[in-house]
Amino acid sequence: MKLKFVLFVGLRYFKAKRKSSGLASSLLSMIGVGVGVMVLTAVLGVMNGFQLGFIESILEISSYHLQITAGQGVKEERFAELENLRAIQSVVSFTESQAIAEGKYVRQRGCRVRGLPVDILKRDPGFRNSLEITAGVFDLSPANSIVIGVELARHLGLAVGEEIVLTALAGDSLGKLAPIKESFTISALFRSGYYEYDLGLAFVSNATAANYFWPEKEPPLTLGIKLENRFQLKEAEEKIAAALREAPGSGYRLVAWRDYNRAFFSALRMEKIIMMLLIGLIFIVVGFNIYHTLKRTVRERYEEIALLKAIGAPGSTIQYIFILDGFLIGCLGAGVGMAMGLLITGNINEIFAIVETLINLLFGVMEVLFATLSAPGMGEFSIFSPAYFYLIEVPSKVLLPEALLILLLGLLSATMAAFFASQRVAEIKPAQILQYE
Amino acid sequence: MNIIEVVSLSKTFRTGTEEVEVLQGLNLTLEEGESTVITGESGSGKTTLLNLIGGLDMATSGNIIFAGSDIVGKSEAELTRYRSSSLGFIFQFHYLLKDFTALENVMLPALIEGLSLKEAGNKAEGLLDRVGLLKRKTHYPVELSGGERQRIAVARSLMNDPGLILADEPTGNLDEKNSDQVKKILFDLVCEYKKTMLLVTHDKTLAARGDYHFCLEHGRLKRK
């Protein structure tokens, strides 16, 4: 390829469109790429916000990055070295059981009761940051102290300082299972942003859990491990194995976060892929638009292409001139689209607020104009109404690899369309075109 | 010294089941630094001969030896290289690129050859000066007269210092005044730069200016 020549002619052709009839179709092509990139960036940004919110809540509050389940009789001290490993952020021993919670009224609710060290907030900053304490103080040290989710408290009609009654089955399923019932004092209410947890999770101290659920024997030892980087699972597993001087699986069982949430995370990933594919269809439409625009440009320049061939420009080099055209359309469209997409994603709540204000304003005007027709008791319009959505604000997060992928998609759709549109260049015969008779 | 030798060149066009033999075993030798003019009736095969020598069309049989190498049967890439480095084309119509200035149009062959913009620009300015259009170097084709456009096409044909200039009715599209101007400039430059030129035309005054004059009749050349 003769790069200087391609750039010289290609850039001039691109610039010349400003004066020609090709401007409108080129602009449309750019807008098409831009809209595709913008929509995909914004939709995936908001989707990431929701999904990462779920994932972070699950990992930080409930499932940890790695869980070690030890055999019967193994002491926590066996794993003391783990806290010194550089890859590990925190190690926490916990227990988990099921119980039926009752409040002052007749309503009941099943919940998971998690036993945690009393200094959990100090030991696990991720856990501390993921919980918003809406009432009371997170303190598990008093005997029978319990922290429950705000939705569970609302469901049972309970507040801080009141008693919650838990009913569970104690004993051994091989022997005799007996129901046990115990009252706990609510020391705090938490909100995680994940409805399932706010409605179905309660925290007590490890000692309280042991006394209540395993009154006659030692509870099973489970450790929750948080890593500095949760994506470096393999390295962490190797380091843990080396630190414990045993191959993984012997004496303890190590399970990674992707395994025990596989179904949920797979569903989230599938949701995102399907969304990308659906919105990505816009690039096919845009690609066709660019294909036809550039095919017309090639047809309009048959004589010039024939002349360039006659004076010694290779067909492939001339084809690059038109591919450059598509590439520039893609660059400009995708660049502006990405900027717009990032702007929308970063200000999604403000944009929703403006839209809501405008719609409510419109409703207000309509209500005044058609007072007799308006339905009484119509509430204010809200895109994500708290009445239906468990949201305080719409979360968003743009991931760099995804942003680059979207940019690449926009660029590729335009460049590939230009490549196919310029295939005719190779077929142009100067001897047939440059005839004047 | 021979720059090009055409040996037993034939070209047959097929239209449906009908075959038209435009060139029938044509022989021609062009000496370095000399101008050869071919005249003939419309449809006699003048342009076809130029296209075959210019590597723009494929011969049915025969040989075209340029600088000792046969161009018949060469690959498209080799022919492209041959056109770029060894030939200068002038067509009846100027075929200037409308989005490029006069200077840029002249620069194009040099840019294809890989020269820098500065080198190509300097060389093109020199040629534009020789055709009397340096002052109009920033003008676009639409801002120039027919004669001026054709003079720019003449300058473009000389840009890569080609061994052979192929001119197809270079004045056929011009009025008498512009035609005379282009004729003068073309022959003066060919003489000055010592170029070999093969020119086909209907114009008898133009034919008279060549070192050799042939007439193409029934697919063969006759010396005039």
CB atoms A2 and B84 under 8 Å: no
Q: Nearest by CB to A16, from B99, B109, B111: name it.
A: B99
Residues of A in contact with B54 (CB under 8 A): 310
Distance between CA atoms of residues A358 and A364, nearest Å: 10
Instruction: Please state the domain count of chain B.
Output: 1
B215 touches chain A (CB under 8 A): no
For the question of whether the overall pTM of this predicted structure is more than 0.80, the answer is: no
- Chain B residue whose CA is closest to A431: B56
Residues of A in contact with B43 (CB under 8 A): 437
Domain membership of residue B154 (yes or no) is yes
pLDDT in the model for residue B88: 94
Mean pLDDT in residue range A218-237: 84
> What tokens does A282 get?
């816009």
Q: CA of B100, closest CA in chain A: separation in Å?
A: 8
Distance between CA atoms of residues B200 and B213, nearest Å: 10
Of the candidates A312, A173, A352, the one whose C-alpha atom is nearest the C-alpha of residue B112 is A312
Say what the ipTM of the complex is.
Answer: 0.94
pLDDT in tens, A295-318: 988 998 999 999 999 999 999 999
Write down the residue that tokens 């998609």 correspond to: A409
Q: A368 burial class (0-12, 13-18, 19+ CB within 10 angstroms)?
A: exposed
What percentage of chain A reaches a pLDDT higher than 70?
91
pLDDT in tens, B110-149: 999 999 999 999 999 999 999 999 999 999 999 999 999 9
A17 touches chain B (CB under 8 A): no
A34 touches A342 (CB < 8 A): no
CATH code of the domain containing B156: 3.40.50.300
Q: Nearest by CB to B84, from A4, A13, A311: name it.
A: A311
A312 touches chain B (CB under 8 A): yes
Q: CA of A417, closest CA in chain B: separation in Å?
A: 24
- Chain B residue whose CA is closest to A303: B95
Domain membership of residue B167 (yes or no) is yes
Task: Provide the residue ranges of all domains of chain A, joining segments of one domain with +.
Answer: 3-53+265-433, 72-250
pLDDT string in tens for chain B (224-residue length): 788 999 999 999 888 888 888 999 999 999 889 999 999 988 889 999 999 999 999 999 999 999 889 999 899 999 999 999 999 999 989 999 999 999 999 999 999 999 999 999 999 999 999 999 999 999 999 999 999 999 999 999 999 999 999 999 998 888 888 899 999 999 999 889 899 999 999 888 888 888 999 999 888 888 87
Which runs of consecutive H residues, i.e. helices, occur in A17-136?
A: 22-57, 120-123, 125-130
- DSSP-derived secondary structure for A202-255: EEEEHHHHHHHH-TTSPPPPEEEEEESSTT-HHHHHHHHHHHTTS-TTSSEEEE
- Chain A residue whose CA is closest to B43: A437
> What tokens does A176 get?
């005799």
- DSSP-derived secondary structure for A143-210: TTEEEEEHHHHHHHT--TTSEEEEEEEEE-TTS-EEEEEEEEEEEEEEE-S-HHHHHHEEEEEHHHHH
Q: Nearest by CB to B95, from A9, A16, A303: name it.
A: A303
- Chain B residue whose CA is closest to A17: B99
